[in-house]
Amino acid sequence: MKFSLFIFVAFLSATCSFAQTPKDIKHVVVYQEDGKFAGWPANNGAWIFEGDELLVGFTRGEYELKERGHNIGKSLQECWLARSTDGGENWQAYNPENYVGDVGDKPKCPPLKKPINFMHPKFAMRMVGAGYHGAKDGRGHFHYTYDGGVTWNGPHRFGKLHQARELKRGKLTELTPRIDYVVTGKHEAVLLFSS
């Protein structure tokens, strides 16, 4: 059984309206391996860097045919990345070192030694939370990169957010961030996640 991760790249002309079907759509296989499941790039991150460099995250695991639910086995789910340096024409998929799921269920997370430069041209951040594709840390943590996802720094904790009075008052015990953030300055960003 084959299961592939697809990225749909649409090249729209300036005259195309929303009611029309784009004429120049190209379907590209980013990753495919017999017997493997690969999916959920929206939950694992997608980044665009200068030029034609793209990076997309996905979850990889054993393919398991099921009547209900996702067709991924529960045994080993890994967070992988795929990179394109030509605008999405060609892709290289890899399992990065020191990335999501590589540091155990309850990782040690040292504090940052210096502020993160969110405006670095090759900056990307992957937030991690409880119960999601290779991540089991209810306290939440994050990894970040300055080289477009080749190497990753972390894991680091979100300060003492997981101990906030407001969370405990609502009997919320886990943080569940994914990848949603908005950069607002060199050392500032708004991080969006739930608990």
pLDDT in the model for residue 5:
45
Question: Which range marks the domain in which residue 194 is found?
Answer: 97-195
Tell how strand 78-84 and strand 54-62 pair up.
antiparallel
* Range with top average pLDDT, 41-50, 60-69, 171-180: 41-50
pLDDT tens per residue across span 116-166: 999 999 999 998 877 666 567 778 889 999 999 999 999 998 888 877 787
Alpha carbon distances (Å) from 61 to 30, 92, 95, 122: 16, 17, 12, 28
- Do residues 35 and 116 both lie within one domain? no
Q: Which of 67, 95, 123 is the last residue of a domain?
A: 95
C-alpha to C-alpha distance for 144 and 123, rounded to whole angstroms: 7
Question: Which of 136 and 89 is assigned the larger pLDDT?
Answer: 89
Same domain flag for 152 and 126: yes
Q: Does 70 score more than 50 pLDDT?
A: yes
Whether the pLDDT of residue 19 is over 70: the answer is no
